[in-house]
Amino acid sequence: MQQASWQDAVYEALRRAGIRQLAYVPDAGHARLIARAHEDPEMRAIVLTTEEEGVALATGAWLGGERAVLLMQSSGVGNCINMLSLPQNAHVPFFTLITMRGEWGEFNPWQVPMGSATPRVLEAMGVHVLRAERAEEAAATVEAAAALAFDSTVSVAVLLSQRLIGPKVFVR
């Protein structure tokens, strides 16, 4: 039997929060959450071609009576800037989990600018930003963020630090 990981604890926090749709652009940092969603008959895992589709999907899920989460990487935040106005103007909650790049042990210099700007960009668009740095705080942070988003009808992002998810390694 596989030992439970912080990702499993985060997945269970999503379930407790009533999340039934999990939208994602494929990302190694979210691989365990994505796999769990695909295995779960009560969860609908929806692969996207671009991150801003997930903002619209989450808005539509709420309007249809369900809760959704968008999984993306920090580089995808730049693709969503304009679309982040949708949940704010529609007065619906938006909830996202973002794996960070451009931080701890980053090998790819193209990831650094957006990784550094992600918190400020989100905040400038009216998104409340929480951050998980350690495995033992990840599930509680996700649970608190989901409560804030869905109970207060606001946009909330949880940044999962690169130190938490582990640095990506360039293989030649």
List Cβ<8 Å contacts ≥24 apart for 77-81. Answer: 77/51, 77/114, 77/118, 77/121, 77/122, 78/114, 78/117, 78/121, 79/50, 79/51, 79/52, 80/51, 80/52, 80/54, 80/55, 81/121, 81/125
**Dihedral pair phi/psi, residue 78, rounded to 5°:** -60, -30
Q: Where residue 58 falls among pLDDT bands split at 50, 70, 90? A: very high
Q: Choose between 155 and 172: higher pLDDT.
A: 155
Report in angstroms the alpha-carbon separations of 83 from 17, 55, 63, 64.
24, 7, 16, 19
Q: Where residue 114 falls among pLDDT bands split at 50, 70, 90? A: confident
Rounded to two decimals, the pTM is 0.93
Other residues' Cβ atoms within 10 Å of the Cβ of residue 7: 22
What residue spans define the domains of the chain?
A: 6-163
Based on its alpha-carbon atoms, the radius of gyration of the chain, rounded to whole angstroms, reads 15
Q: Where residue 92 falls among pLDDT bands split at 50, 70, 90? A: very high
Quote the pLDDT of residue 95. 98
pLDDT tens digits, one per residue of 68-80? 999 999 999 999 9
In whole angstroms, give the CA distance from residue 161 to residue 70: 16
Cβ-proximal residues to 14 (8 Å cutoff; 6+ apart), any chain:
22, 33, 69, 142, 146
Q: Where residue 87 falls among pLDDT bands split at 50, 70, 90? A: very high
Query: How is domain 6-163 classified at the architecture level of CATH?
Result: 3-Layer(aba) Sandwich (3.40)
Other residues' Cβ atoms within 10 Å of the Cβ of residue 105: 10
Quote the pLDDT of residue 113. 66
In whole angstroms, give the CA distance from residue 27 to residue 9: 18
